[in-house]
Amino acid sequence: MKLKNKVAIVTGAGQGIGKETALALAKEGAVVVVSDITEKIHDVVKEIEALGSQGLAIKADVSNNKETEEMAKKTVKKFGRIDILVNNAGIFPFKSLLEMREEDWDKVLDVNLKGVFNCTKAVIPKMIKQKYGKIINITSIAGVKVGHVGLVHYCASKAGIVGFTKATALELAQYGINVNAIAPG
Ligand SMILES: NC(=O)c1ccc[n+]([C@@H]2O[C@H](COP(=O)([O-])OP(=O)(O)OC[C@H]3O[C@@H](n4cnc5c(N)ncnc54)[C@H](O)[C@@H]3O)[C@@H](O)[C@H]2O)c1
């Protein structure tokens, strides 16, 4: 139980990597806020409770900064702190560059990159007060090491997360906040 009494928020936790991350954190004893735009968050919380841990479902669109601020506020109101943020929410709608329209580009950048900015901004006031925080950004090998046909916007957003992570890590180190990125393959 490495994470007993820690409070974690995982975005995009209704399914996939986010859901498995939420369950893994819960297995280590963390209280987990399961956030997503889908109703699946309630089932994930039930799974967390079945593990003997505590969970809270909060619906929030990471591209909307009012919703991410509300997510952080509700977390602090219920649990008193935020120790871990996993910026996992991401979309990857395939489209060739030739067919890609401005709104396709904006949507992917808003969710994948601005979403990381919004959620990070929402949690850091509390983490700074605590002098403790762990922020984990989920990027991808697509954009970091390799390109991917049909995912120009996605690759750009994921490369953006790497730059964001490096700069944020330097800026927040003085407050005891670690910022890292994971690039799944
Ligand atoms: N699966 C892979 O092979 C792979 C590889 C590299 C990187 N990644 C990254 O890992 C992360 C998770 O991928 P996955 O395969 O589990 O994806 P997934 O599509 O299975 O799950 C993504 C979750 O994010 C949620 N989501 C979408 N838009 C959202 C928004 N605006 N606000 C909040 N939540 C939103 C979805 O509802 C969904 O539950 C993504 O950032 C993805 O880019 C995945």
* Mean pLDDT to the nearest integer, 69-79: 98
Give yes or no for residue 133 CB within 6 A of ligand 1.
no
Q: Is residue 150 part of a domain?
A: yes
Give yes or no for residue 65 CB within 6 A of ligand 1.
no
Q: Which of 36, 63, 67 to mutate to test the pocket of ligand 1 (most atoms within 8 A of CB)?
A: 36
79: pLDDT strictly greater than 90: yes
Q: What is the pTM of this model?
A: 0.98
C-alpha 91 – ligand 1 centre gap (Å): 5
86: pLDDT strictly greater than 90: yes
Domain count, the chain: 1
Distance (Å, whole) CA 19 – CA 41: 9
71 or 144, which is more confident: 71
121: pLDDT strictly greater than 90: yes
* Mean pLDDT to the nearest integer, 77-94: 98
Give yes or no for residue 90 CB within 6 A of ligand 1.
yes
Atom of ligand 1 nearest to the CA of 141: 6
Give yes or no for residue 110 CB within 6 A of ligand 1.
no
Whichever domain contains 44, its CATH number is 3.40.50.720
Report residue 56 as tokens.
Answer: 């809270």
Q: Is residue 1 part of a domain?
A: no
Just list the catalytic residues.
154
DSSP 161-183: HHHHHHHHHHHHGGGTEEEEEE-
DSSP category for residue 13: T
Q: Considering only CA atoms, which of 88, 78, 85, 80 is closest in space to residue 55? A: 78
Q: Is residue 172 part of a domain?
A: yes
Q: Is residue 57 part of a domain?
A: yes
Q: Is residue 2 part of a domain?
A: no
Report residue 48 as tokens.
Answer: 């967390």
Q: Which residue range(s) make up the domain with 57?
A: 7-182
pLDDT at res. 143: 81
Atom of ligand 1 nearest to the CA of 142: 6
CA distances from 126 to 44, 62, 74, 77, 159 (A): 25, 18, 12, 11, 27
**pLDDT band at residue 58 under the 50/70/90 scheme:** very high
Helix %, strand %, coil % of the chain (to 5): 50, 15, 30
Q: Is residue 173 part of a domain?
A: yes
Phi, psi of 117 (to 5 degrees): -60, -50
* Mean pLDDT to the nearest integer, 113-119: 99
The alpha helices in 80-151, defined as continuous H runs, are 102-109, 115-130, 141-144
Residue 95: half-sphere exposure toward Cβ, Cα within 13 Å: 16
* Mean pLDDT to the nearest integer, 77-84: 98
